Amino acid sequence: NAGVTQTPKFQVLKTGQSMTLQCAQDMNHEYMSWYRQDPGMGLRLIHYSVGAGITDQGEVPNGYNVSRSTTEDFPLRLLSAAPSQTSVYFCASSPGTGTSFSNQPQHFGDGTRLSIL
Amino acid sequence: QKEVEQDPGPLSVPEGAIVSLNCTYSNSAFQYFMWYRQYSRKGPELLMYTYSSGNKEDGRFTAQVDKSSKYISLFIRDSQPSDSATYLCAMRSTGGFKTIFGAGTRLFVKA
């Protein structure tokens, strides 16, 4: 099993450009989420999904869009990149359905390092 | 005030020392408590996972939860240079979808 795979590993964008960060998992996990990690801030939740077709906002959703058309994939879209979105982005997944998500720890990918000039 | 507070360090110890890492939190609804280890340029990996109060031991690692004080700890015995990493505490409430993370503590174990 590959686990959680994120692509690309590194990306440099110019302000105003758009791009999609890819996340795929091969563990048939229902729950997937996107975090950003900034120095001194820990991991902050951007968006999450509890299954195909179902997404919701996290702590810092502004400037990001998500969709979940399959169980395996959960892409994160930056609509118009801003320097404040320079960060390391992590995708995570965990098993569970309904209300049983809370007792399942998450598995993380190795991140996408994004710089916006 | 953040929901979860964690001293960012860095914490530097000699090889073989006992390491104590801690987090405090404000939300009494948190029931699930996790410790993740993150090496440089890697994603967090789960180290310890506990429910409610009490202790849990796994090899050289012990996790403690004191819900009355809203305080959790991770102890590392016989620390090794390979333990040098950032340690993140995380917690979640029952029925909740959102995990709240601490800022992480950077640990250096010197040979």
Please spell the DSSP secondary structure of chain A, one letter per residue.
Answer: ---EEEE-SEEEE-TT--EEEEEEESS--SEEEEEEEETTTEEEEEEEEEETTEEEE-SS-TTEEE--SSSSB--EEESS--GGG-EEEEEEEE---GGGGGGS--EE---EEEEE-
If pLDDT is split at 50, 70 and 90, which confidence band does B45 have? very high
pLDDT at A14: 97
pLDDT at A100: 62
pLDDT at B53: 83
Is A106–B102 a contact, with Cβ atoms under 8 angstroms apart?
no
Give Cβ neighbours of residue A92 (< 8 Å, ≥ 6 apart).
Answer: A4, A32, A33, A34, A35, A106, A107, A108, A109, B43
Question: Which chain B positions have a beta carbon within 8 Å of A45's beta carbon?
Answer: 98-99
pLDDT at A99: 55
Interface test with B, best of A5, A106, A107, A110 (most B CBs within 10 A): A106
- How close B77 gets to chain A, by Cα (Å)? 24
pLDDT at A9: 96
pLDDT at A41: 81
Token code pair at residue B33: 């408590």
Token code pair at residue A89: 């982005």
**Three-state secondary-structure class, residue B74:** strand
- How close B17 gets to chain A, by Cα (Å)? 26
Is B44–A90 a contact, with Cβ atoms under 8 angstroms apart?
yes
Low-confidence ranges of chain A (pLDDT < 50): none
Give the Cα separation of A107 and A91 in Å (integer).
Answer: 8
- Spell out which chain B residues touch chain A, with contact meaning CB-CB distance below 8 angstroms: 4, 6, 8, 31-32, 34, 36, 41-46, 49, 51, 88, 90, 92-99, 101-104
Is B93–A42 a contact, with Cβ atoms under 8 angstroms apart?
no
Token code pair at residue A28: 């048939």
Mean pLDDT of B71-96: 93
Percentage of the residues of chain A whose pLDDT score is greater than 90:
79
Is B97–A103 a contact, with Cβ atoms under 8 angstroms apart?
no
pLDDT at B9: 87
**Residue B2 in this model has a pLDDT that exceeds 90:** no
Least confident of A44-53, A90-99, B6-15, B70-79: A90-99
pLDDT at A101: 63
> Mean pLDDT, chain B, as a whole number?
93
Token code pair at residue B81: 């240079």
